[in-house]
Amino acid sequence: MSETRKVTIFGSGLVGCQWAMLFAAAGFQVALHDAKEGQAARALQQIDSQLRDLSAKGHLRGCLSAEQQQQLISAPGSLDEALDGAFLVQECVFEDVQVKRDVFRLLDAKAPAEAFLCSSTSCIMPSEFTSELPGRARCLVAHPVNPPYFLSLVELVPSPFTDPAAVQTVKETLVKLGQEPIVINYEIDGFAVNRLQYAIINEAWRLVTSGAMSAEDVDKVMTCGLAPRYCFLGPLAVMQTNASGIRDYCQRFGSGVARVSATFGPTPTYQGEEVDRVAAQMNTLMPPESLADVCARRNQFLAALARMKRDFSQSRGSQDNI
């Protein structure tokens, strides 16, 4: 596949802009389109600023300069022009199933017949917005983890009628971007990232709202304990290394895992007075007006961490998924 092939990004918010930057970093031509008039042009200005900033800090991805990458990204005046010649379309609109149905109906009618249609949705199963389309076989979810420029994982989720060849081609394309695509073999609510993330959030919420721990200390369990380890070895690999393999772990610790898990309690509803209590603690620790600065600092360190992970993977001969 030629690296000068064209990709269309439908939706030019945060995720759409970062998808555009990732494709441009790999040498693809990128056409940005947004249903809101003038938004794509404004996004181009934001992308230019971000690329220059990344370059100045040594965090720019790819071999091309910031100026060269910027030149690969355009904002055509119409959707037809944006889609013309595209081999892949990445939808990045907000999480509303009816909006996605409308967008995919439009894309299926207008995009080149050979183009793959991907959604950035984090939770909505692809069959919910593509099942009635004539071109449903070319549609799938390609969900990035936010912020996608600094976190390489992308969840690929086919519907029951997605052509396996579409999944494979999109996967190969994402590898060219330097991303780490994983394939979920069938539709499952929440996919993988959010199923694991929600399990953590649910127990963190229970520990705080029950009075067992403060919000600050619960977050430290992750930032100072679990997260650094999981950054390099996933939960199943941790089981493997915390004993003499999975079988030994299950024999030694399985009954304890089952016993503790039985005490977890009901799923929180995230409503009412509990929200007020948790929000009060978090707003003291991290005032809302500071969040932009916190995210900027987080992204800077995520870029450095990504380099460390690449070094770690290379030191192991890239033999494991980390």
Number of domains in the chain: 3
Query: Average pLDDT in the 218-243 region?
Result: 94
Residues 234 and 102 in one domain: no
Rounded distance between C-alpha atoms, residue 306 and residue 111, angstroms: 34
Domain encompassing residue 123: 6-183
Neighbour count for residue 11 (Cβ, 10 Å): 25
Residues 100 and 205 in one domain: no
| Residue type at position 118 | C
pLDDT the model gives residue 320: 47
What's the count of helices (H) and strands (E) in the chain, helices before strands?
14, 8
Q: Specify the 3-state DSSP secondary structure of 164.
A: helix
Query: What DSSP designation does 10 have?
Result: E
Residue 106 — pLDDT band, cuts 50, 70, 90? very high
Write down which residue in 164, 183, 202 finishes a domain.
183
Residues 223 and 316 in one domain: no
Would residue 134 count as lying in a domain?
A: yes
β-pairing, 73-74 vs 6-10, is unpaired
Residues 20 and 164 in one domain: yes
Residue 300 — pLDDT band, cuts 50, 70, 90? confident
Residue 4 — pLDDT band, cuts 50, 70, 90? confident
Would residue 188 count as lying in a domain?
A: no
Tell me the pTM.
Answer: 0.91
The fraction of the chain above a pLDDT of 70, given in percent, is: 97
Residue with structure tokens 């409503």? 271
Would residue 127 count as lying in a domain?
A: yes
Tell me which of 1-5, 189-193, 255-259, 276-280 is least confident. 1-5
Rounded distance between C-alpha atoms, residue 246 and residue 305, angstroms: 28
Mean pLDDT, rounded, of the chain = 94
Has residue 243 got a pLDDT over 80? yes
Query: Average pLDDT in the 69-90 region?
Result: 97
Residues 276 and 315 in one domain: no
Has residue 82 got a pLDDT over 70? yes
- For residues 268 and 306, the model is more confident at 268
Rounded distance between C-alpha atoms, residue 286 and residue 200, angstroms: 20
Query: Average pLDDT in the 195-213 region?
Result: 97
pLDDT the model gives residue 39: 95
Q: In what order do the strands lie in the sheet with 73-74?
A: 73-74, 29-33, 6-10, 86-91, 116-119, 139-144, 153-158, 180-183
pLDDT the model gives residue 322: 42
pLDDT the model gives residue 272: 95
Helical spans, DSSP H, in 66-192? 66-71, 79-83, 97-110, 127-130, 164-176
Query: Average pLDDT in the 228-248 region?
Result: 94
Rounded distance between C-alpha atoms, residue 147 and residue 107, angstroms: 25
Residues 125 and 222 in one domain: no
Residues 163 and 45 in one domain: yes
> In CATH, what number is assigned to the domain containing residue 250?
1.10.1040.10
The fraction of the chain above a pLDDT of 90, given in percent, is: 90
Per DSSP, what are the bridge partners of residue 154? 144, 181
Residue 308 — pLDDT band, cuts 50, 70, 90? confident
Phi, psi (rounded to 5 degrees) for 207: -65, -35
Query: Average pLDDT in the 261-265 region?
Result: 95
Per DSSP, what are the bridge partners of residue 91? 10, 119
Query: Average pLDDT in the 187-201 region?
Result: 97
pLDDT the model gives residue 316: 65
pLDDT the model gives residue 74: 97
Residues 295 and 275 in one domain: no
Residue with structure tokens 């009816």? 98
Rounded distance between C-alpha atoms, residue 309 and residue 315, angstroms: 10
Residues 137 and 20 in one domain: yes
Query: Average pLDDT in the 102-111 region?
Result: 98
> In CATH, what number is assigned to the domain containing residue 57?
3.40.50.720
pLDDT the model gives residue 317: 61
Would residue 222 count as lying in a domain?
A: yes
Residue 1 — pLDDT band, cuts 50, 70, 90? very low
Task: For residue 135, give both structure tokens.
Answer: 């071109």
